[in-house]
Chains A and B, each alone.
Chain A
Amino acid sequence: MRCNLIKSKKGDISQPFIFIFAIVAGALILTFLLWFARGHVRIESLKSSQEAAFYFDETLTLLSAGEDVYKSIDNPLKRKYEISCGTLKVEEGKPAKLNSIVFSPKQLSANKLSIYSKSILFPFKIANIYIISDPSKRYLFVYDERTKDLVESFKKDIRVKLPEIFNFQLISKQNLISTLNELTKQQITRFVLFTQLSQQDINKILQKFPNSDILLIDYQDGSGNLKFISKTSTADSNFFSLHMLFAAIFSQDQNTYECSKAQLLNKLKLLSKFYSQKASLLNSAFTNCPYPQASGVLNSIDISTLESLKSFKISLEEVNNILAGGNCAPLY
């Protein structure tokens, strides 16, 4: 009986019980508050990422007003941008669709981004392309006697100059070979070869610079062929204008370059069809003008090869010059 009474003396042991209860309740409330704070930080960070993505896209759209413009975006915080074929992801935000054709490394993580916007005319304006990089990505342009003038013009000639906001240096083939060992101390993203190197030298570069890759350029009068060489793969591509060459230089790899190039060529195809409709419309207003000929050229566009693209451009330029020279409204 006595034992039972002691056992049931809850009032006497209520103090430790209160302490245990307070610890458990306090721990629960603290966990809840921590969870709540974490959620708050996550929401704010997502909000900020989405806003950054929005302003990024907005900057690109605004830059489309210019024919040849460049800009640096400065962020107070270091942000991680992930750009892949028409989509942009900032930090852990949701991937957003980009309204612009972008050529850039896949991942950019910097306080500062360099953006170069250029109108692509072929021969009419197709769209503005955006070449994006960050100062931490360093490109080494290698030239020989044959390509020296061309490569130096990227630094000096205002007509073809690559904006200085991009981190690129010029080096001759001889200097590269002789200073290769010293260069290993430096971080180089890509070796852009405007020259031929032996397979042995290429292998040496890939071996000494495990984080770098090589872009081999065969430049011929504004267009040419490309070879993306990395440790694991080699892929071919081409460019139909000097600015498409710049686009290739700053693209992550052949896949991302081809993807954005396909977007551009698809737009070219659609615009050709559109200009063909315009030619038909103008044909009803202007008699004795070669609009049917222009329509023929526009409808026969073939974007599959570099040669067919070049031939399309030349033919359309010819017919547009005839239109502009006569009493006809030019197509573009």
Chain B
Amino acid sequence: MHHYIKDSNTGEDKNLGDDKNLGSYIRYKELRKKAQLQAMELIAVLFIFFILLSVGIYYYYQFQFTGIKETTERLSTEKLEVYLSAIINMPEFQCSARATKEICLDTTKLLLFKSSELAKTAILPKARITVKQIYPPKTALKECTLQDFNSPDFPDNCLYFTIKDFTLPEKKSIISNPALLYYPTKNLYALGLVIMEVA
């Protein structure tokens, strides 16, 4: 007895031959189904594997970036602290008596620095840097300028010197260091603070 089957591609009837051939055909169909299932399984496993791998990579990079960001922030803070302690030793601000180093800041240099050529080349951090007198206390609150310097009531007529101006957002952090200020025209010393404000 001959068996026929409709070909799904051509629509024609296909002769499958006798019973023996029919058995082979059924076995072939079962195995193809099994192979298809196995292939599907494999694809599913690979799909899940790659999803898990992608999630892993994503979190790994997140972790890495957080680490790098934290290191950068830590180093930036350290750098600011180093700069803060270095300012007092910079010849641009430091007092000296006949080339002998004194641990103080020369206020005439502080007044002149911002508008000098040195300010363009000096390597200072991206921060607002000011020097404020804290003792003896002052009633004046304004920045010291060249006009204030030429006034007879200097240094009582102003409070602080700006070394570097920098536009800052509202949220900022402030670090400071005490320093001795020297007023050469009056031969006076006062206690001050070097203040660094950063975004």
Query: Does B21 contact A330, Cβ atoms closer than 8 Å?
Result: no
Query: Does B116 contact A277, Cβ atoms closer than 8 Å?
Result: yes
Partner of B184, one of A43, A51, A58, A282: A282
* Chain A contact patch, size range: 35 or more
- Chain B residue nearest to A329 in the complex (CB): B184
* Chain B contact patch, size range: 35 or more
Interface residues of A in 271-286 (CB under 8 A from B): 271, 273-274, 277-278, 281-282, 284-286
Q: Mark A94-137, 1 if CB is under 8 A from B, else 0.
A: 00010100000000000000000001010111110000000000
Query: Does A43 contact B64, Cβ atoms closer than 8 Å?
Result: yes
Query: Does B35 contact A10, Cβ atoms closer than 8 Å?
Result: yes
Query: Does B82 contact A11, Cβ atoms closer than 8 Å?
Result: no
Interface residues of A in 1-53 (CB under 8 A from B): 1-2, 5, 8-12, 14, 18, 21, 25, 36, 43, 47, 51
Interface membership of A61, Cβ < 8 A: yes
Interface membership of B187, Cβ < 8 A: yes
Select the stretch in A62-70, A152-160, A173-181, A204-212 that faces chain B.
Answer: A62-70
Interface membership of A321, Cβ < 8 A: yes
Interface membership of A320, Cβ < 8 A: yes
Query: Does A330 contact B98, Cβ atoms closer than 8 Å?
Result: yes
Partner of A125, one of B17, B57, B91: B91
Least Cβ–Cβ distance between B124 and chain A, in angstroms: 10
Interface membership of B142, Cβ < 8 A: no
Please, which residues of chain A bring their CB within 8 A of the CB of B62? none
Select the stretch in B105-113, B162-170, B172-180, B189-197 that faces chain A.
Answer: B105-113
Q: How far is the CA of A332 from the CA of B24 in the complex (A)?
A: 107
Q: Classify the interface of chain A: helix, strand, loop or mixed.
A: helix
The total number of A-B Cβ pairs within 8 Å is: 119
Q: How far is the CA of A267 from the CA of B46 in the complex (A)?
A: 64
Partner of B118, one of A9, A64, A270, A330: A270
Interface membership of A324, Cβ < 8 A: yes
Please, which residues of chain A bring their CB within 8 A of the CB of B86? 61-62, 64-65
Query: Does B109 contact A274, Cβ atoms closer than 8 Å?
Result: yes
- Chain B residue nearest to A284 in the complex (CB): B150
Query: Does A65 contact B71, Cβ atoms closer than 8 Å?
Result: no
- Chain A residue nearest to B39 in the complex (CB): A14
Interface residues of B in 108-157 (CB under 8 A from A): 108-109, 111-113, 116-118, 121, 123, 146, 149-150
Q: How far is the CA of A274 from the CA of B106 in the complex (A)?
A: 13
Query: Does A58 contact B185, Cβ atoms closer than 8 Å?
Result: no
Q: How far is the CA of A267 from the CA of B123 in the complex (A)?
A: 12
Partner of A270, one of B38, B71, B88, B121: B121
Known A54-B75, A329-B185; contact A321-B116, beta-carbon cutoff 8 A: no
Q: How far is the CA of A12 from the CA of B24 in the complex (A)?
A: 12
Q: How far is the CA of A12 from the CA of B29 in the complex (A)?
A: 11
Least Cβ–Cβ distance between A152 and chain B, in angstroms: 27
**A5-B25, A9-B28, A65-B88 provided; 16 other pairs, C-beta below 8 A?**
A2-B24, A18-B42, A47-B68, A64-B90, A65-B89, A124-B91, A266-B121, A270-B116, A270-B117, A270-B118, A277-B112, A282-B108, A284-B150, A286-B185, A321-B98, A329-B185
Sampled A-B contacts (27; CB under 8 Å): A5-B21, A9-B28, A11-B31, A11-B32, A18-B42, A21-B42, A25-B46, A47-B71, A58-B78, A62-B85, A62-B86, A64-B86, A99-B123, A119-B101, A124-B91, A124-B96, A125-B96, A270-B118, A273-B116, A274-B109, A274-B117, A278-B109, A281-B108, A281-B149, A282-B108, A330-B97, A332-B99
